[in-house]
Amino acid sequence: TQLLEQSPQFLSIQEGENLTVYCNSSSVFSSLQWYRQEPGEGPVLLVTVVTGGEVKKLKRLTFQFGDARKDSSLHITAAQPGDTGLYLCAGAILTGGGNKLTFGTGTQLKVEL
């Protein structure tokens, strides 16, 4: 069973601060996806990383996939209240049975004015 541990579980910061969320596992994944979920809605895909060491930037968000493809991080620069939400990492292992996702435990982020 693959497990993905996210840290921190909760994070409350002021607008303008920087933060990093970590996603760690002992398993190797074919790819790793980051999602953001609002209350009452489904997860919205932010990014997919595939190659060990890969770094992707999405405006103020920077995503990195670990060299061994077991861990990932999400860094947000100058956080804004609109960044508030539940951030989920999800690892996929590509097999003949598709690429079902194993989700992390989630990081609940709150950005206050």
Partner 1 sequence: NAGVMQNPRHLVRRRGQEARLRCSPMKGHSHVYWYRQLPEEGLKFMVYLQKENIIDESGMPKERFSAEFPKEGPSILRIQQVVRGDSAAYFCASSRNPGQRTEQFFGPGTRLTVL
Can you give the binding site for partner 1, defined by CB under 8 A?
Answer: 30-31, 33, 35, 40-45, 48, 50, 88, 90, 94, 97-106
- Whichever of 62 and 102 has its CB closer to partner 1, that residue is 102
State the nearest-atom distance from the C-beta of 113 to partner 1, in Å. 28
Report whether 110 contacts 19 (CB < 8 A). no
SS3 call for 94: coil
- Quote the tokens at residue 76: 């947000």
Instruction: In angstroms, give the least distance from the CB of 78 to partner 1.
Output: 26
From CA 83, how far away is CA 96, in angstroms rounded? 36
Cβ closest to partner 1, residue 85 vs residue 106: 106
**How far apart are alpha carbons 100 and 113 in whole angstroms?**
38
Residue number with CB closer to partner 1 (79 or 90): 90
